[in-house]
Amino acid sequence: MITPEHIELIGSEVAIRWSDQSEDYIACERLRAFSPSAETTGERDLLGRKYGGTEQKSYPGVLVRGWHLIGGYAVQFDFSDGHNTGLYTFDYLKAICRASV
């Protein structure tokens, strides 16, 4: 599994150096928009009905204020808008850094 070795805030981007020595840079606003939290994505019941979540995909001016490693599998970011409940698994974080959306 590829893991982050170093995370750093550079202006309005988060820079990540991975254990395979590759590097990614992702805008804080994009990172916030792709939060995997139930607050952002909602939750589904056994029948697949979605509850909660938001359709908002733009977070202008939102910055990362800090982060915490969660176990050996995820990063939790603290955003300037108060959001901090998304757990970005290492695989998910790498995927959204690399996706061209």
Domain parsing of the chain, residue ranges? 4-98
Give the per-residue pLDDT at 100: 59
Least Cα distance to 2 among 17, 19, 22, 16 occurs for 19
| Residue from 28, 23, 58 nearest 40 by CA | 58
As a whole number, mean pLDDT of residues 62-66 equals 97
pLDDT of residue 101 exceeding 70, the answer is no
Which class in CATH covers the domain with range 4-98?
alpha beta
**Residue 45's pLDDT band (cuts 50, 70, 90):** confident
As a whole number, the mean pLDDT across the chain is 92
Question: How confident is the model over 75-89, as pLDDT tens digits?
Answer: 999 999 999 999 999
pLDDT score at 51: 81
Beta strands in the chain (DSSP E): 4-10, 13-18, 23-27, 43-44, 50-51, 64-70, 74-79, 87-89
